């Protein structure tokens, strides 16, 4: 703990409970990014990229290790949304196809799915939640039995709550039904162990800046090896494909067919360093510590009059959401910010299928990570008590 905090300069500055928004960079990540920018300024961007090629390759290998994949199954993109969109808009969806979604669906994904529906004529089918507020596996099984079901889109950990959807069970059901499983692992990556074989997903997407503690402007896409040759990306460039003759091109063999030639080399290196940092602590250890810290947040907040914890789910994670009676979520966030504490707000426009149905227009989100201390949680509870009393 002391070592983790010493390697995180931001710990000295703020009470940061916004790791689900963007975590605090570890010093080695910061050094790697700044170091590469300096190299670019000294020897030139192309030359610096050549010199750093092994570090960039290392990023693919590290991400592959993190999720139990092969480096050839990984593409680096500038966000999780870009990664998810690249995959989703490239998959072969036909007019009669049914695409199953859940109430945890993320705003950007939902917009893209509506666009997909408009473009292809496919049908979006909502699979209801169970009594715990997570995807109902029996309802999913029934929906999968329809022969026109082509794909299941699931958010592993929704942005607006502390629950963990039963992704392994969803993957098993999809596998049995022979249906593509696309997993948005944006909020689970970096806070718990993930294994794509166990998850049974065809596609997995994640961002760099959240629990992975990488730089902003980074994300990645995993696509299962056997699928890649059959999925031509909606957009290609001269990195994703080769212009082989005046009227011909060949798409590259690996997942990098979903990338673009131009990219930020410094942040790609930084992302790899962040993944190595997480692997260094161990994802099991991170998950264990985070679960206990987040339980500590929920216990403290539940004891404050006028504060309601809004988390659902059987299995919970590092994210906690709550509301304060008589005070809007943005106002709570602003009061905390004025006291040096960072949280974020999730509004209905990010979670249309979930928050309005629960009678909520917004929730305050406090997200811990392994660098958070019990002492910080006490201070946080004191701050929230004062806000709730005012």
127 beta partners? 102
CB closer to ligand PLP out of 158 and 171: 158
Contact 211, 191 (CB under 8 A): yes
Could you tell me the two tokens for 172?
A: 């098993």
Binds ligand PLP by CB under 6 A, chosen from 186, 297, 343, 364: 186
Residues 58 to 87 in contact with ligand PLP, rule: CB under 6 A: 79-81
Rule CB under 6 A: say whether 150 interacts with ligand PLP. Answer: no
CA atoms within 13 A on the CB side of 39: 17
Q: What distances in angstroms separate CA 237 from CA 249, 259, 263, 343, 376, one per listed residue? A: 10, 8, 13, 39, 48
Total binding residues toward ligand PLP, as defined by CB under 6 A: 13
Query: How is 306-365 classified by DSSP, letter by letter?
Result: TEEE----SSB-SEEEEEETTB-HHHHHHHHHHTTEE-EEEEGGG-TTTTGGGT-SEEEE
Rule CB under 6 A: say whether 170 interacts with ligand PLP. Answer: no
In whole angstroms, the minimum distance from the beta carbon of 176 to ligand PLP comes to 25
In whole angstroms, the minimum distance from the beta carbon of 342 to ligand PLP comes to 16
Rule CB under 6 A: say whether 155 interacts with ligand PLP. Answer: yes
Query: How is 247-295 classified by DSSP, letter by letter?
Result: TEEEE-SSGGGGS-S---HHHHHHHHHHHHHHHHH-HHHHHHHHHHHHH
In whole angstroms, the minimum distance from the beta carbon of 375 to ligand PLP comes to 28
Strands 248-251 and 241-245: antiparallel
In whole angstroms, the minimum distance from the beta carbon of 367 to ligand PLP comes to 10
CB closer to ligand PLP out of 62 and 187: 187
Residues 248 to 307 in contact with ligand PLP, rule: CB under 6 A: none
In whole angstroms, the minimum distance from the beta carbon of 184 to ligand PLP comes to 5
In whole angstroms, the minimum distance from the beta carbon of 288 to ligand PLP comes to 22
CA nearest neighbour of 283 among 185, 186, 166, 190: 190
Contact 220, 120 (CB under 8 A): no
CB closer to ligand PLP out of 204 and 307: 204
Rule CB under 6 A: say whether 211 interacts with ligand PLP. Answer: no
Binds ligand PLP by CB under 6 A, chosen from 8, 62, 153, 159: 159
Binds ligand PLP by CB under 6 A, chosen from 149, 207, 321, 344: 207
Reduced to 3 states (helix: H, G, I; strand: E, B; else coil), residue 208 is coil
Rule CB under 6 A: say whether 18 interacts with ligand PLP. Answer: no
Binds ligand PLP by CB under 6 A, chosen from 161, 162, 190, 219: 219
Rule CB under 6 A: say whether 188 interacts with ligand PLP. Answer: no
């Amino acid at each position: 703990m002391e070592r983790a905090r010493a390697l995180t300069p931001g710990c000295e500055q703020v009470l940061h409970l916004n790791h689900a928004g963007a975590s605090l960079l570890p010093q080695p990540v910061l050094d790697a990014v700044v170091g590469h920018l300096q190299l670019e300024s000294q020897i030139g961007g192309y030359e610096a990229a050549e010199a750093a090629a092994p570090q960039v390759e290392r990023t693919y290998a590290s991400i592959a290790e993190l999720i139990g994949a092969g480096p050839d199954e990984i593409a680096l993109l500038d966000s999780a949304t870009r990664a998810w969109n690249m995959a989703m808009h490239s998959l072969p969806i036909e007019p009669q196809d049914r695409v199953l979604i859940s109430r945890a669906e993320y705003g950007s994904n939902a917009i893209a799915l509506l666009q997909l529906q408009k473009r292809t004529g496919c049908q979006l089918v909502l699979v209801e939640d169970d009594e715990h507020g997570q995807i109902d596996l029996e309802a999913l099984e029934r929906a999968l039995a329809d022969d026109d079901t082509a794909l299941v889109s699931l958010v592993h950990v929704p942005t607006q709550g502390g629950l963990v959807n039963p992704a392994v069970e969803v993957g098993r059901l999809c596998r049995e039904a022979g249906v593509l499983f696309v997993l948005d692992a944006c909020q689970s990556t970096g806070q718990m162990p993930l294994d794509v074989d166990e998850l049974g997903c065809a596609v997995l997407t994640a961002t760099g800046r959240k629990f992975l503690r990488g730089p902003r402007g980074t994300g990645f896409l995993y696509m299962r090896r056997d699928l890649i040759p059959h999925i031509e990306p909606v957009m290609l460039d001269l990195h994703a494909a080769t212009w082989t003759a005046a009227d011909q091109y060949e798409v590259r063999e690996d997942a990098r067919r979903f990338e673009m030639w131009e990219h930020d080399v410094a942040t790609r290196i930084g992302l790899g360093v962040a993944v190595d940092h997480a692997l260094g602590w161990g994802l099991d250890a991170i998950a264990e510590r985070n679960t206990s810290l987040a339980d500590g947040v929920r216990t403290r907040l539940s004891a404050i009059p006028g504060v309601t914890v809004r988390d659902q789910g059987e299995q919970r994670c590092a994210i906690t959401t709550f509301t304060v009676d008589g005070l809007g979520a943005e106002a709570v966030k602003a009061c905390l910010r004025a006291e040096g504490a960072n949280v974020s707000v999730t509004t209905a426009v990010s979670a249309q299928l979930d928050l309005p149905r629960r009678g909520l227009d917004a929730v305050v989100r406090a997200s811990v990570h392994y660098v958070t201390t019990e002492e910080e949680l006490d201070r946080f509870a004191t701050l929230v008590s004062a806000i709730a009393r005012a």
